[in-house]
Structure 1
Amino acid sequence: MANKSLFASVFGKYSPGTDATNREGAVAYAYEPKHQLAQLAATGTLNDAFYASAETQLADVLAVAQKVDPVFLAKAALYARKRGAMKDMPALLTAYLTVADSDLAVSVFNRTIDNGRMLRNFVQIMRSGAVGRKSLGSRPKRLVKQWLENATIEQLIRASTGNDPSLADIVKMVHPKPASSERQAFYAWLIGRPYDVEALPTQLKEFELWKSDIGRQLPDVPFQWLTSYDLTAKRWVLLAERMGWQALRMNLNTLARNGAFGVKGATDMVAARLEDADAIKRARIMPYQLLMALNAAGDGVPLKVQAALEIALEKSLANVPVMEGNVVVAPDVSWSMQSAVTGHRIGATTAVKCVDVAALVGAAVLRRNPSATLMPFEERVVSVDLDPFARVAVNAKRLSDLGGGGTNVSAPLKLLNKRQADVDLVIIVSDNESWIDDTRYGSTETMKQWQKLKSRNPKAKLVCIDLQPYGTTQAKERKDILNVGGFSDAVFDTIARFASDEEKHDWVTEIEELEV
């Protein structure tokens, strides 16, 4: 008998040879530098992931940043912040730009560093020495100073919440020039120096008076400043009215513990705020964050409020496209997908796992495309019967509970080929660390199986959604294959364009179209 490895099938022959190995040591395809940077920007959280430490992610970002044009790096930072709703990566890329191309750093700074938390992230990264300098330097210092001087008093007060560094630390570093007696008093109050009480912003005067007599009217300051005090249930309701949408979503159990939902009208008010479509859009909420809130809601959170979270989840998935033809969606439910989607960091680890996000994508696509075929997989495709018209959260929970086993990205394609299925679009959601189907020679098994499927379905397209920043894929990028990373709803926009466009429009091109 002839050598089977040497004389492989025609489907393997026309598939591209691999050029890398993944974190499991199995063959894979390396992303080209621009795509790798985009992947890191959209999925990297600078926390410990299943296969890579935070230090590895940082090293990977800095290494690939040196290989791409600074203009693309600036666009990747903008995409990560504005479309991907990321925090640490846009701050890191902006900090790197201050070294690589300070003019570009000036151009993107106010768009990536768009609130107090982002400002603190940027300053922390600059001072760490990670991008090549251990101080802000003259131009970055001027950018931070201008941010402070251009911010409104309300923005500065909101930015005063948070540490490492605190806003007070930043003010001491850059010495912003106060344009009014009010700002002068605010800065002095912030850094603990003598100040003119009468010149303080109204909110701070009220706060200082309230601290000496908490029976007074609740001051209009960030709610975090007040939560350590002994507040009545009615006052907790007032805080619920004032806090931002994201803070409300994250503090439902706190409101329940403090009796807020026992106050007449509080449940209706909170539910109405959570369902507000405009507020959801402004908050740039990621669908998985709503799933996290649903999973975390305790018994004390009223059912009406939990139902409002489900409604908000459905609204946050409005970008999931309705796609023509035979659609297959395959979420990875293997063991590595049990890791936290934003990585592990002591005191800041999300309860949402990669498998939860993959399951959410699968359930959302099924909801918008009821005739789609669902093929969750690990070492093999796992059989599951879901009602496409059931609530997205319910189906996502059933899918995520399937988790376990090794990773075999080619399994759904192999089963489709066995069934001789007619397919127009396949969407695989994974961390791409396939190893069960590892091959010693030629292309990955995923590419072999895809080539076989394409021989029956020449117009079929494959989308691989990558949830982790590991730098390789099982499917080589080409006209009929899209690799896209991230866990925001921006991914659905990209899929919709790819599925409908006659011409290839890849993810990198989408980022390059952004204006710096």
Structure 2
Amino acid sequence: MANVKLFNSHPATLPASDTHNAAKAPAYAYSARHQLAQLSVTGCLNQTFYAAPEAQLDSVLQRVGELDSRYVAKAALYARRKGHMKDMPALLLAALVAQRSALVPALFGEVIDSGKMLRTFVQILRSGVTGRKSLGSQPKRLVQQWLNNATEYQLLQASVGNQPSLADVLKMVHPKPAETWREAFFAWVIGKPVDVQALPELTRALLAFRSGASTEVPGVPFQLLGNETLSAEQWAHLAGTMGWQALRMNLNTLARHGAFEVPGCAERVAARLADPAAVAKARVYPYQLLAAYRMTGDDVPASVRNALQDALELSLGNVPVLPGNVVVCPDVSGSMHTPVTGYRQGASTAVRCIDVAALVAAAVLRKQPNARVMPFEVDVVDVQLNARDSVMSNAQKLAAIGGGGTNCSAPLARLANAGCKVDTLILVSDNESWIDARRHGATETMRQWERIKKINPQARLVCIDMQPGATTQAADREDILNVGGFSDAVFDVIEQFISGRYGARQWVQAIEAMEF
């Protein structure tokens, strides 16, 4: 018989934790690339339960200083294109400007895709947080080019908002327009005397409407008409012309001004909200539709509210149908009850991390009716869900649970103790587990996952992180994927990982694969 000491099979050695999370419990640190990816698609530079906005900013700038500029540029592009983020892509672009990166011109054209993004970029650059307060010759030229190539409607959209206003930007960069109408428009924006007839068509129509010379509602961005006195019929007209996102956010306003009492208005609004092409073009977050649904008042017709549910289902079109035995574990602990985009006075979203975690679980259940949903805090919380209910209904039921400490290993321990069959386990959390903290060695989450693996060698674990942290409870390896964010792009990465087409670095690889 062979020497048992030499040839006995030993269990795989689990990696020891190498850092602590924000709750001061043992955890695994993300790589620098993964940290930047995490910050890029979850960081909104607002106060979160565990992180101050200044700490997020410092972390981003530190990672930018450590990593090559091409990866930073691709992270910015991924955050904007796939994650639909606003502040973070502009911040990364501004940081590359401060580094005098040769990638800035190409990246600028991809990230600065609206007047709001333009103003955000200028605001960040002028703040000095990236190391410079002046725009500099190259950024100034890029801003000038955007202003000189934008359509009239894009410029009108850019004129909505302050700090800086479009007038401030124009005064900073002094663009030299080739067209007469553009020159007149810029003069009008900064308050200089201008011949009204030299202004472009939409702007003339806006001024005529504001002065009372015309009663026809101009086809300009809705916000430019917000202070005008409009009839119910005019509000109904606006409902058909305002942008999709503006429509979603102003349903109560339309109801308050009697728009839905105008024959046909409710039907037209419902059709627009549930239009697949419009939902895709709007790049709407599923949680934004959940928020809109929750905030609609009793005066908003049921057909419009139902259309929001339809739009939510459409926005989750990228949720894959996962094979085999699927388990989804949404974290419903106390820290998950904070706004998903952080606290900001006067601008905090009503949607919490727990709402998004519940939304992910409900969406997977819709595509995989046999999936098991195991919400957890200190322990697993038993809940009965009907896979035939709408995603909205199940998400609301899950989000109604909650409180207590965070124990990420709790659902894994229950599965292991029961010897359950598991092919895919999705953990949706802020990763700040502390109830199950151990002094030494691997985290309890890794220990329990290893027990599950002994029963299910083919099983894969996906950890979706809701907040801009730098640690995880489950170390990256071939059967474990850590991914951050709350857009449907996350599901693309999950599907590729579960199908075996990519390994544990798939999320970073997805960013590295971005082209511009």
Alignment TM-score, normalising by the size of structure 1: 0.97
How far does the alpha carbon of each residue in 1:227-272 deviate from its partner, in whole angstroms, 9 at most, with x for none? 2111101100111111110110000001011111111001001000
- Deviation at 1:299? 0.6
Distance 2:498 2:383 in 1: 26
Alignment partner, residue 4 of structure 1 = none
Matched with 2:196 is 197
Match of 2:463 in 1: 464
2:155 corresponding residue in structure 1: 156
Tell me the distance in 1 between the aligned counterparts of 2:482 and 2:454. Answer: 21
- Show the counterpart of 1:513: 513
Q: State the 1:213 CA deviation.
A: 1.1
Q: What residue in structure 2 maps to residue 142 of structure 1? A: 141
Deviations 1:68-106 (A, max 9, x none): 111000000000000000000000000001122431111
Q: Percent identity?
A: 57
CA distance in 2, matches of 1:503, 1:386: 32
Rounded to whole Å, the distance in 1 between the matches of 2:241 and 2:483 is 37
2:168 equivalent in structure 1: 169
Supply the AA of the counterpart residue of 1:472.
T
What residue in structure 1 maps to residue 70 of structure 2? 71
Q: Distance in 2 between matches of 1:210 and 1:395?
A: 46
* Deviation string, structure 1 residues 273-320 (Cα, Å, up to 9, x no partner): 000000000000111100010111111111110000001111111111
Structure-2 residue corresponding to 1:388: 387
1:36 to 2:39 alignment: no
Q: C-alpha displacement at 1:33, in angstroms?
A: 0.2
Supply the RMSD in Å over aligned alpha carbons. 1.2
Per the alignment, in what secondary structure is the counterpart of residue 102 of structure 1? coil
Distance across 2 between alignment mates of 1:461 and 1:254: 46
1:125 alignment partner in structure 2? 124
Asked whether 1:242 is paired with 2:241, we answer yes
Give distance in 1, aligned partners of 2:366 and 2:229: 45
Question: Residue by residue, what CA displacement relative to the aligned partner does 1:335-375 show, whole Å, maximum 9, x if unpaired?
Answer: 00000000011121100000000000000001100111110
| Deviant stretches of 4+, over 2 Å | 10-13
8 Å contact 1:12–1:451 — kept in the other structure? no
* Counterpart residue number, 2:499: 500
Q: Does 1:491 align with 2:487?
A: no
The within-5 A match list for 1:14-413 is 14-213=13-212, 216-413=215-412
SS state at 2:102 partner: helix
Determine if contact 2:251/2:300 at 8 Å carries over to the other structure.
yes
Alignment match, 2:5: none
Give CA-to-partner distance per residue, 1:452-472, whole Å, 9 cap, x none.
111111111000000101110
Distance 1:139 1:307 in 2: 48
Q: Deviations over 1:25-61 (max 9, x none)?
A: 0000010000000000000000111101111110111
After TM superposition, the structure 1 stretch with the greater mean CA deviation from structure 2, 111-120 or 224-233, is 224-233
Q: For the residues of structure 1 that align with 2:82 and 2:165, how far apart are their CA atoms? A: 27
The equivalent of 2:3 in structure 1 is: none
Q: Is the 8 A contact 1:12 1:448 kept in 2?
A: no
SS in 2 for 1:35: helix
- Secondary structure at 2:482's aligned position in 1? strand
CA contact (8 A) 1:377 1:412 kept: yes
CA contact (8 A) 1:287 1:488 kept: yes
Pair 20,152 (structure 1): closer, same or farther in 2 beyond 3 Å:
same
Residue 198 (structure 1) shift: 1.2
Give the distance between the partners of 1:476 and 1:379, measured in 2 at CA. 21
Q: SS of the counterpart of 2:66?
A: coil
State the 1:14 CA deviation.
1.6
Q: How many residues align?
A: 507
Deviations 1:138-194 (A, max 9, x none): 111111111111112221122111111011110110011111111111011000001
**SS of structure 1 residue aligned to 2:103:** helix
Amino acid of the structure 2 residue aligned with 1:508 = V
Contact between 2:115 and 2:155, CA under 8 Å: does it hold in 1? yes
**Bigger shift: residues 214-223 or 117-126:** 214-223
Please state how far the C-alpha of 1:483 moved relative to its aligned partner. Answer: 0.3
Secondary structure of the 1:462 match is strand
Question: Is 1:444–2:443 an aligned residue pair?
Answer: yes
> 1:3 maps to what in 2?
none
Decide whether the 8 Å contact of 2:208 with 2:214 is kept in 1.
Answer: no
Distance 2:471 2:342 in 1: 18
SS at match of 1:182: helix
Structure 1 equivalent of residue 6 of structure 2: none
Question: Structure 1 residue 502: deviation in Å?
Answer: 4.9
8 A contact 1:11–1:451 mirrored in 2:
no
**In structure 2, what is the Cα distance between the partners aligned to 1:177 and 1:389?**
59
- The answer to whether the 8 Å contact 1:12/1:442 transfers is no
Change (3 A) 1:236 1:330: same
Partners of 2:348 and 2:481 lie apart in 1 by 30
Q: Which amino acid aligns with 1:510?
A: A
In structure 1, distance between residues paired with 2:471 and 2:510: 20
Please give the alpha-carbon distance, in whole angstroms, between the structure 2 residues aligned to 1:506 and 1:300: 46
TM-score by length of 2: 0.97
What is the identity, as a one-letter code, of the residue corresponding to 1:321? P
Aligned-partner Cα distance in 2 for 1:12–1:114:
52
Q: Which runs of 5+ in 2 are unaligned?
A: 1-8
Report SS of the residue matched to 1:14: coil
1:477 aligns with 2:492: no
- Secondary structure of 1:333's counterpart equals coil
CA contact (8 A) 1:11 1:449 kept: no
Kindly provide the amino acid, as one letter, of the partner of residue 511 in structure 2: I
Q: Which moved more, 1:459-468 or 1:500-509?
A: 500-509
Contact 1:11 1:452 in 2 (8 A): no
How much has 1:215 moved relative to structure 2?
5.6
Residues 383 and 179 (structure 1), Cα distance of their counterparts in 2 relative to 1, 3 Å cut: same
1:216 positional shift: 2.0
Change (3 A) 1:260 1:63: same
